[in-house]
Amino acid sequence: MSTSSHPPITLYTSAMCGYCVAAKNFLRSKGLGWEEIRIDTHPAERTSMVARTGRATVPQIFVGETHVGGYDDMMALHRAGGFEPLLEGAGA
């Protein structure tokens, strides 16, 4: 999967997270690549994620520097037609 055609996608995840799996499945279905940051295997990343997002739940999803939110937030943005413009480099 190429990540050069869109801003980088970053997912903060943990192993036992159904919404993380759902988010990755959605991105995969769109042919998108992402960087995954596991907060369960790298505890310092949890602190970084909370500082960056103000949230303690996973997944937390970024497109470029834009914080999309969690899985439900990403799907709501997609249904509203706002996710694809982020992939094209447009701001939220």
Classify residue 82: in a domain, yes or no. Answer: yes
Domains in the chain, number: 1
Classify residue 40: in a domain, yes or no. Answer: yes
* Contact indicator for 75, 27 with CB cutoff of 8 Å: no
What CATH code is carried by the domain that includes residue 79? 3.40.30.10
Give the CA diameter of the chain. Answer: 34
Q: For position 90, what pLDDT does the model report?
A: 63
What is the average pLDDT score of the chain?
92
pLDDT of 4 over the 80 cut: no
pLDDT of 41 over the 60 cut: yes
* Residue 42, number of CB atoms within 10 A of its CB: 12
* Contact indicator for 60, 69 with CB cutoff of 8 Å: yes
Structural domain for 59, as ranges = 9-87
Classify residue 2: in a domain, yes or no. Answer: no
Classify residue 31: in a domain, yes or no. Answer: yes
For residues 13-38, average pLDDT: 97
Strands (E), the chain: 9-13, 35-38, 60-63, 66-69
Classify residue 4: in a domain, yes or no. Answer: no
Q: What is the pLDDT of residues 67-83, one digit of tens each?
A: 999 999 999 999 999 99
